[in-house]
Structure 1
Amino acid sequence: MKLLRYGPAGQERPGVLDAVGNVRDLSGVVDDIAGAVLRPLGLARLRELDIETLPIVAGVPQQDLRLGPCVGRVGKFICIGLNYADHAAESGMEVPAEPVVFGKWTSAISGPDDDIEIPYGSVKTDWEVELGVVIGQGGSHIAETDALSHVAGYCVINDVSEREYQLERGGSWDKGKGCDTFGPIGPWLVTADEVPDPQALRLWLEVDGHRYQDGSTATMVFGVAQIVSYLSRFMSLQAGDVIATGTPPGVGLGQKPPVFLEAGQVIRLGIDGLGEQTQCTVPAVAPVAQRQTALFE
């Protein structure tokens, strides 16, 4: 199944994509693509539905029908850094002996085609296409051999990052990762039964038509099962938690010279079988205090 959420920001309704690309409304069945709906029993009940009997939603998804983040009420947005050896090399960092773990704030989450705001004063906003893993069955101290059974499904994530905030402003990476709009998720959540091998997926990203990233999850340092098991040692994983599993080489920071995003650009990215995203970059509105000061200059 390809589960999704459609409609205006903050008012998304649950849906599912049918065999010919129509969105079918699920709001008469579930309240959201979130929580218990993502657990094995919840997904099993959705699979029993005759999708063709559900109401068709008007519009073409990702054209005249906005899609929101494919998961609602996300509890944790966990990220893994430097999880491709060649990306670590282009960043000038060593391949980690254990997964590098950091967080994105849930307020960063946005729809797959929503605008990305370049933060006010930013000079180093960057892109990162990543495989997203959504937890279904929660747990702690999950065995690696059992880890994939805890996955509800997979999705595309753009782990947008402000490198100056991340690397040059002290403290952890988090401050460069969680700006508003820095977490596009979707277009849909592809349930795990439709992804036979999460370590055999091609992922790519373009800016203004130029292909910067073109990689495969086969080259991850730590695979999905390892990551889920590892994280569960340090926190309980819960239904609807989202994990961004790292990015292949080709980020702006790794270009020679580095290339960073500016307002007015178009980003396209995708993962085979999981869909595509398209975002326009726009300037973030100046802080209120700055706007008020400008009135008197």
Structure 2
Amino acid sequence: MANKRIVQISDTHLTPAGEVPSFNQQLDPFDKLSQVFADVKKMEVKPDYVVITGDLIHEGTTSDYAELKKNLHKEEQNLGIPIFVLLGNHDRTEPFYEGFLGQQAKSKFYQKVTLKGIDNYFLDTTFGNIEQGYLDQKQLDWLSEHLSKDNKNPALIFMHHPIAGASLKHMRFSVLQNGSELLQVCGQGNVKGIFSGHIHFPTTYLTEGILNSVAESTAYHIDCRNNQQHYVNDAVGYNIITLSEENNIGVENRYLYWGQKIVKEIPIGETGFVDPSIFN
């Protein structure tokens, strides 16, 4: 197997029709996403596929998702590669099913796609419209069955909420709340990496020997270094994932724009995991 390259885009937060950009963005998030696709098109070695890891539209409607489907189809034609999407906490499941998929809505959107000798698992970590992520038992059982049965190919997991790790010690209030359960399931298969977004800054760390990589947003960066006060500025970034012939994996962070102006401040309270009873 030759080297495989996957472009990961995350947290596009595209503005619904008639609304203003979220989080006081000074630049149009549609234009920012166009910058990313233009940059990908310049790559000398074309990537094998693109994955957008959630928060596609900032609380959009059916027509917004239909327009997104049309725009991504154009980008697929321009690049000559498939584009896959999954949902984040600012996405709305029913409008997504109706507008993007043209299907009757289900409670969760997750799937397995084998491409170029890689088993890709696109998970749904949303729980209603709350900020935190959670994987329901049905989805964990589905993943467990596939990973334990199909363990010859390298497996990559894509989801919106990251697992808590060394560099996310003070982000536990916002990330995947049952990451330990996911890691137990991952141990049954040939998982090489877990790729996520949500927190709007890039970071990489190991959990149970598995690479975890979080992508920058294409819409805005959040500076979380101050545990009690976060700062927002416009930014455009994405990741390029490389899986080598030997199944070694690495990630390049690409930055296309970095705004210096602070456009929003977010006060933070408790930073630990939330009460698990809310997921009952």
Structure exhibiting the larger radius of gyration computed from Cα positions: 1
Q: Higher helix share goes to which structure?
A: 2
| Superposition TM-score, scaled by structure 2 size | 0.27
| Superposition TM-score, scaled by structure 1 size | 0.26
Question: Taking CA–CA contacts closer than 8 Å with sequence separation of 6 or more, which of the two structures ends up with the larger relative contact order?
Answer: 1
